[in-house]
């Protein structure tokens, strides 16, 4: 994916200096070869290895029409969590029957959109959503397939802000008997809903498989208990996503098969033991597909040295195009892109240009001696960069470029100042 020629970092065969000159900075850059490598890995470890499966890309990681078209062509599904993500998918002519609608507080307008478009399934996050969805289905003369997102009550080894499977979570239906089983029975008996089964998601950036295994045990027992109580064979189980990637050398992500094989082996053994037909299994990787495929490119501006304390190297972006460091202390690696193979002897903090003390992109990183006008490349920013971008301080959202071999193409135009004020009256 990366190489260095004449000191300059290249993405595939394209110079980052050329990309900066062509499109300006800040800039989101994606390698299509890396995207395809990750999709191929999901195919090899999951889709081709096991029958009756599908993988839905979690659009929250990077929702663009380009990404929807690529995934449609490669046979993947989409997992959306808002009307905006659904609209983006439909504007790219993505087949609605391969879309899952997730989210903890879907509005009436969003659910109506989902029904009108004919999405493949809706993931119910709270029992109150059952009545709402039934009412909408009756009004629009629709029937929809649903899964229940459960809260498995497990804690993941990740930042607390991205741990989603613990008992005290805003996501999912709790396992309390008096809450869950009446809801399951209602969904099974409903003439508007087709109950498919269960969904869980235990967290993000996971570099161990134990939490998935613990959540799986909860889901399997629910499948068995549902059959015992209601004589209903659960046809579907979604095991979520959250598989970790490498941001820095401190990260040691697992190969996808290290998650998938134990899960699939356990499901197979469990179903054989209890004489249950193995359900259709799906997953929702997002970051795993796009995270390492992207980098961000900035131009270095002010370099401020505070004697005996530190040096701040300022860039022309920051928390408006990458919120993760300020939001939950995410860590990244970076190089001076036009000095990519020069000795890294200068320890600095990389600071953004927002008027916030928390707008520090990377702390205590060693880079080649920086100068005003140099380019800074920050790696593994393909997930939750563009999708979380905002206009704080009235900064514009950067352009997005895809690189394929020696070719490059603009897939999202840079926002202008006129765009920022276009909706203001």
Catalytic residues: 355
Q: For 367, what's the count of Cα atoms within 13 Å in the CB-facing half-sphere? A: 28
How remote is the C-alpha of 153 from its chain's centroid?
A: 22
Phi, psi at 416, each rounded to 5° = -110, 170
**Residue length, the chain?**
425
- Tell me how many helices (H) and strands (E) the chain has: 12, 20
Identify the three-state secondary structure at position 149: strand
CA-to-CA distance for 404 and 14, rounded, in angstroms?
9
For residue 262, CA distances in Å to 53, 218, 230, 245, 267 come to 16, 15, 29, 19, 9
CA-to-CA distance for 134 and 285, rounded, in angstroms?
29
Q: Which residues neighbour 178 within 8 Å (Cβ) at sequence distance 6 or greater?
A: none
Closest CA to 372 of 295, 313, 300: 300
Closest CA to 224 of 272, 182, 152, 283: 272
Indicate left, alpha or beta for 369 from its phi (over 0: left) and psi (-120 to 50: alpha). beta
CA-to-CA distance for 324 and 248, rounded, in angstroms?
14
CA-to-CA distance for 112 and 95, rounded, in angstroms?
17
CA-to-CA distance for 385 and 396, rounded, in angstroms?
14
CA-to-CA distance for 199 and 284, rounded, in angstroms?
10
Phi, psi at 34, each rounded to 5° = -70, -40
């Amino acid at each position: 994916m990366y190489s260095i020629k004449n000191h300059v970092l290249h993405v595939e065969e394209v110079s980052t200096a050329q990309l900066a000159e062509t499109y300006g900075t800040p800039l989101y850059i994606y390698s299509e070869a890396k995207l395809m490598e990750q999709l191929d890995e999901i195919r090899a470890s999951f889709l081709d290895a096991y029958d009756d499966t599908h993988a839905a890309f979690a659009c929250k990681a990077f929702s663009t029409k380009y990404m929807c078209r690529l995934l449609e062509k490669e046979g993947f599904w989409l997992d959306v969590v808002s009307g905006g993500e659904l609209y983006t998918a439909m504007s790219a002519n993505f087949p609605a029957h391969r879309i899952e609608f997730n989210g903890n507080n879907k509005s009436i307008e969003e659910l109506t959109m989902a029904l009108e478009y004919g999405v493949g399934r809706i993931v119910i996050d709270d029992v109150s959503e059952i009545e709402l969805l039934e009412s909408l289905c009756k009004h629009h003369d629709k029937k929809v397939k649903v899964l229940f997102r459960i809260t498995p009550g497990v804690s993941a080894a990740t930042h607390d802000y991205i741990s989603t499977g613990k008992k005290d979570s805003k996501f999912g239906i709790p396992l309390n008997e008096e809450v869950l089983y009446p809801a399951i029975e209602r969904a099974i008996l409903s003439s508007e809903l087709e109950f498919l089964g269960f969904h869980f998601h235990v967290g993000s950036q996971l570099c161990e498989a134990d939490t998935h295994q613990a959540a799986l045990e909860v889901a399997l027992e629910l499948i068995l208990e549902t059959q015992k109580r209601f004589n209903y064979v659960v046809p579907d189980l979604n095991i979520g996503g959250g598989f970790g990637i490498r941001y820095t050398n401190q990260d040691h992500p697992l190969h996808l098969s290290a998650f998938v094989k134990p899960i699939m082996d356990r499901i197979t053994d469990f179903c054989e033991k209890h004489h249950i037909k193995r359900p259709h299994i799906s997953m929702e990787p997002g970051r795993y597909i796009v995270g390492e495929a992207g980098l961000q490119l900035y131009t270095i501006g002010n370099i401020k040295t505070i004697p005996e304390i530190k040096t701040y190297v300022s860039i022309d972006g920051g928390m408006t195009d990458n919120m993760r460091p300020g939001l939950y202390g995410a860590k990244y690696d970076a190089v001076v892109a036009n000095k990519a193979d020069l000795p890294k002897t200068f320890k600095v903090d990389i600071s953004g240009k927002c008027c916030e003390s928390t707008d520090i992109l990377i702390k205590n990183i060693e880079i080649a001696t920086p100068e005003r006008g140099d380019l800074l490349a920050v790696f593994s920013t393909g997930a939750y960069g563009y999708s979380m971008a905002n206009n704080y301080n009235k900064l514009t959202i950067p352009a997005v470029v895809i690189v394929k071999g020696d070719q490059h193409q603009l897939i999202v135009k840079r926002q202008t100042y006129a765009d920022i004020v276009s909706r203001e009256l």
